[in-house]
Amino acid sequence: MQKWARLNFQPALPLRGDRRVTGSSEHIAVSRKAAQEGMVLLKNDGTLPLSSDKKLVLMGKAAVDYVKGGGGSGDVYCAYIHSLYYGLKSKGVSVYEPLIDLYKEEMKKQYDSGRVPGMTEEVPVPADILKDAAAFSDTAIVMICRFSGEGWDRSSIECNQEFNPWPQSRSMPSFSSEIFPDGDFYLNAGEKEMIKAAKENFKNVIAVLNVGGIIDCSFIAGDDAINAALYMNQGGMEGGDAAADIILGEVNPSGKLADTFAARLEDYPSTENFHESFDYVEYTEDVYVGYRYFETIPGARDKVIYPFGYGLSYTTFDITVTGAKELEDSFSFDVKVTNTGKASGKEVVQLYYKAPQGKLGKPERALGDFVKTKELSAGESQDITLTVTKKAIASYDDLGKVADACYVLEKGSYEFFIGNSVRDAKNTDFTWENAEDITVERLSHKAGPVSLKKRMISDGSYEELPLGAARDINECVFEKMEPGTEEALTPFVRSREMHYLTRPFKEGAKTFFDVAEGKVTIDEFMAQLSDEDLIHLVGGQPNTGVGNVFGMGNLPEYGVPNAQTADGPAGVRIAPETGVLTTAFPCSTLIACTWNREIAEQIGCAGGEELKENNLCVWLTPAINIHRNPMCGRNFEYYSEDPYLTGRMAAAMVRGIQSNNVGASVKHFACNNKETNRKHSDSRVSERALREIYLKAFEIIVKEAEPYTIMSSYNAINGHRASENRDLLTGILRDEWGYKGMVTSDWWTRGEHYKEIKAGNDLKMACGFPDRVKKAMEMGAITRADIEPCAKRILTTILKFD
Ligand code: BGC
């Protein structure tokens, strides 16, 4: 096939042989495998697994109101969606049907009235049905589900002033206020009633949580009447089948939590000011995010219901450290894992470290490495090695207490812990005694705060931070566009006057094919382009084929194709009216809970293939913002509260995607940790927390997997919009980490195009503003030399597509 034939001609050709891979059984099998490995068994007194001839009562409308993933750009259109009810039935399990019929009927009514799966009211169970159900079986599965999505947080607060093309439709926060008056973190009255009824009428009660984020699990942990619980998460199109596989013991659960589950929202330090302001968020908990907070801050330990890294199995494992050593730049630990139980299964071995408190203060535990074993049969062992580099355990000194703007290893004892959760990890007895402070990396201050007044330190108190002059976020050489007027605009379609047969390219042009074939350099190619051509290149391009989130390139007179993007991350999002249905994978949080890099890579590879088969080039995947607070509406799209787990899992995903010569787009760079006023809110965060928590996963991915593209976020960081933030996009990303790829904005930012170009945001999506860039050029605010590197990075990216 000719280079870029798929981009230029959009052929309806299968990727391999004569069978399409999009939505194929092979890809759906990958989705199901991931779902099986990422579901977490939270509790089990031996009730699970169930035998398949056990009759079951499914209680809770979630039995049929299955939520496969979250909403917004992360939603995917697939051929079918299997609930737990479906999964159990397809295995021949006898389920009490009258209740299912009631739920189906009620859900239909609620969907017809504008509700969506997960945003529905619980259905009261009439006494006669309950009595009949109790006579049918002694075992009930109680189901809870939740839905959240892009553009709103998990609360009833109306949170955005974004352009709304459907003004008549009701907002999700308004539904939420009706369904979850106390917030959807907590069970609502209907759910409590349903669980009470289950406990009163059934000997065995198993809870199943079809929830992409965290909810209050005290009703499980604190109550012996709930015998077992499975955190099913949002498992994609075959999530219900995967949960049934686990419940019936056909698959031994091996998922581990990617977040700390506490009982109350207020137990998370970031809750206090989550909604303090529409215009900013103060990240006062600093590096004490997730388990770093709960394991460190006095009094916080007891608030944890299920700790980070936790998850049960139907078997037991022995984890023995057989050796530990210091190498030149790292530490390595040899571990023997033995399956000591009766069922075969997999275990996740986790390495944590504890750095000395020193002058900077440190979390009591931080994840250094993890390995998931192969499937071990009863009695079988596996030897594994875990390593962590010295650079990884260093801390960033942003106040010059040890060495200003440097990563430092403070003097003192470094301890290491190994086990199968942050709580169960045991001290390895290997301690590294560091005799003196060591500077590991010398950097410079970048993207620092000017308005963050204080931050938490390791004893739970706060230290004051120096303040600077606040910036005008909207500063511009001419009048800013009114917020909202930039929304949902589509790029121009440029006409061209060429003779189709005799002059396919501009007279005398060096074509982009010449560049691809090595006949001319990219610089020679660019030298012939006018300023207008360059400005055209740095803006998004019209949709073609099945694309719906726009493209890049598109200079046909020079042979530059229009390369289309597509949304993710739970699958390739193609609009349903095209007739193309793709594979819906589990949500990213579930993928993180697999702690299995191979699975992440397989999903990436399958998604990359579907992208390519449909003539698309960049998958707007993975989304890797940190789970700072359970309320963030897009947490389901993100991996974890921990940057190391996030970075390693998502790097594998990027490798899988790009093995197809299509691009990943790692998003949203950075600190897009809430959806409320996401296009304008300022994330105020210390340099240390930025580098150690919020940028870390991006750094890991850039260094490990070289993503073709990174998407900057809508929000501001310390007074600069991320897309206009030169410290972030050029200083840190390129100069420090050596990133060679391209940066796009998020779609329809409030950033000013010429400022984004100057910051190193190469491509403005979904469309550029050529007239405004031109005007800025005429006013001397930007030059051709500023635009050239951006255009060059876009062209270089397109050259990678085959
Ligand atoms: C989202 C991105 C998404 C883009 C394109 C934005 O609103 O924040 O994650 O990729 O739209 O749909």
Cβ(620) – ligand 1 distance below 6 Å: yes
pLDDT at 671: 98
Neighbours of 728 (CB within 10 A): 30
Helix 597-613 and helix 643-658: axis angle, to 10°? Answer: 40
Lowest mean pLDDT segment, chosen from 490-499, 672-681, 689-698, 793-802? 490-499
Q: What is the pLDDT of residues 21-44, one digit of tens each?
A: 999 999 999 999 999 999 999 999
Which atom from ligand 1 is nearest to the alpha carbon of 151? 7
Burial 280-307 (b: 16+ CB within 10 A, else e): bbbbbbbbbbbbbbbbbbeebeebbbbb
165 confidence band (pLDDT: 50, 70, 90): low
167 confidence band (pLDDT: 50, 70, 90): low
Alpha helix segments (H runs only) across 417-551: 512-516, 522-527, 531-537
- 18 exposure class (CB count in 10 Å sphere: 0-12, 13-18, 19+): exposed
Question: Is the model's pLDDT at 487 over the cut of 90?
Answer: no
| 3-class DSSP state of 424 | coil
Q: What is the DSSP letter of 95?
A: B
Q: In this structure, what are the phi and psi dihedrals at residue 134, rounded to the nearest 5 degrees?
A: -65, -30
Q: What is the pLDDT of residues 387-429, one digit of tens each?
A: 999 999 999 999 999 999 999 999 999 999 999 999 999 999 9
Give the separation between CA 187 and CA 198, rounded to whole angstroms.
Answer: 15
> Which of 65, 184, 746, 786 is an active site residue?
746
The Å distance, Cα 73 to ligand 1 centre, comes to 6
- The 3 state secondary structure assigned to 324-376 is EEECCCEEEEEEEEEECCCCCECCEEEEEEECCCCCCCCCCCEEEEEEECCCE
Q: Mark whether 75 is an active-site residue.
A: no
Q: In this structure, what are the phi and psi dihedrals at residue 363, rounded to the nearest 5 degrees?
A: -65, 150
| 3-class DSSP state of 321 | strand
Give the separation between CA 258 and CA 570, rounded to whole angstroms.
Answer: 17
Give the separation between CA 206 and CA 66, rounded to whole angstroms.
Answer: 17
Cα–Cα distances in angstroms (integers) from residue 355 to residues 362, 367, 406, 455, 775, in the given order? 6, 12, 16, 19, 53
The Å distance, Cα 746 to ligand 1 centre, comes to 6
Question: Is the model's pLDDT at 639 over the cut of 60?
Answer: yes
pLDDT at 156: 85
Question: Is the model's pLDDT at 243 over the cut of 60?
Answer: yes
Cβ(666) – ligand 1 distance below 6 Å: no
500 confidence band (pLDDT: 50, 70, 90): confident
pLDDT at 1: 84
Pocket test for ligand 1, best of 620, 668, 680, 681 (most atoms within 8 A of CB): 620
Q: What is the mean pLDDT of residues 676-697?
A: 96
Which atom from ligand 1 is nearest to the alpha carbon of 623? 9
**Spatial contact of 161 and 484, defined as CB atoms under 8 Å apart:** yes
Cβ(75) – ligand 1 distance below 6 Å: no
**Spatial contact of 776 and 754, defined as CB atoms under 8 Å apart:** yes
- pTM: predicted TM-score of the whole model, two decimal places: 0.98
The Å distance, Cα 580 to ligand 1 centre, comes to 20
Nearest CA owner, ligand 1 atom 4: 747
Which atom from ligand 1 is nearest to the alpha carbon of 667? 9
The Å distance, Cα 723 to ligand 1 centre, comes to 14
Neighbours of 382 (CB within 10 A): 18
Question: Is the model's pLDDT at 163 over the cut of 70?
Answer: no
Neighbours of 620 (CB within 10 A): 27
Q: Which of 283, 234, 394 is nearest to 670 (CA)?
A: 283
Give the separation between CA 12 and CA 22, rounded to whole angstroms.
Answer: 12
Give the separation between CA 593 and CA 255, rounded to whole angstroms.
Answer: 5
pLDDT at 501: 73
Give the separation between CA 23 and CA 35, rounded to whole angstroms.
Answer: 16
Q: 40 - beta bridge partners?
A: 231
162 confidence band (pLDDT: 50, 70, 90): low
Q: 208 - beta bridge partners?
A: 143, 230
668 membership: H or E segment, kind and range: strand 663-669
Both tokens assigned to 775: 């005007």
**Spatial contact of 600 and 591, defined as CB atoms under 8 Å apart:** yes
Q: What is the mean pLDDT of residues 510-531?
A: 98
Long-range CB pairs of 362-365 (<8 Å, 24+ gap) are 362/395, 362/458, 363/287, 363/288, 363/291, 363/292, 363/293, 363/295, 363/296, 363/458, 364/292, 364/295, 364/296, 364/458, 365/291, 365/292, 365/295, 365/296, 365/417, 365/422, 365/425
| Domains of the chain: residue spans and CATH | 40-252 (3.40.50.1700), 291-464 (2.60.40.10), 512-800 (3.20.20.300)
Q: 396 - beta bridge partners?
A: 407
What percentage of the chain reaches a pLDDT higher than 90?
Answer: 93
**Strands (DSSP E) found in 105-138:** none
Question: Is the model's pLDDT at 166 over the cut of 60?
Answer: no
Q: What is the pLDDT of residues 423-481, one digit of tens each?
A: 999 999 999 999 999 999 999 999 999 999 999 999 999 999 999 998 899 999 999 99
Burial 315-330 (b: 16+ CB within 10 A, else e): bebebebeebeeeeeb
Average pLDDT, the chain: 96
Give the separation between CA 486 and CA 511, rounded to whole angstroms.
Answer: 33
**Spatial contact of 231 and 39, defined as CB atoms under 8 Å apart:** yes
Taking the CA atoms of the chain, what radius of gyration do you get in angstroms? 27
Give the separation between CA 502 and CA 329, rounded to whole angstroms.
Answer: 62
pLDDT at 504: 84
Q: What is the mean pLDDT of residues 695-719?
A: 98
798 membership: H or E segment, kind and range: helix 784-800
Q: What is the mean pLDDT of residues 355-364?
A: 98
Q: What is the DSSP letter of 573?
A: B
Which atom from ligand 1 is nearest to the alpha carbon of 74? 9
Q: 229 - beta bridge partners?
A: 43, 207
Question: Is the model's pLDDT at 496 over the cut of 80?
Answer: no
Question: Is the model's pLDDT at 112 over the cut of 90?
Answer: yes
3-state helix, strand, coil split of the chain in percent (to 5) is 30, 20, 50
Q: What is the pLDDT of residues 540-586, one digit of tens each?
A: 999 999 999 999 999 999 999 999 999 999 999 999 999 999 999 99
What percentage of the chain reaches a pLDDT higher than 70?
Answer: 99
- 108 exposure class (CB count in 10 Å sphere: 0-12, 13-18, 19+): exposed
Cβ(790) – ligand 1 distance below 6 Å: no
Give the separation between CA 416 and CA 325, rounded to whole angstroms.
Answer: 11
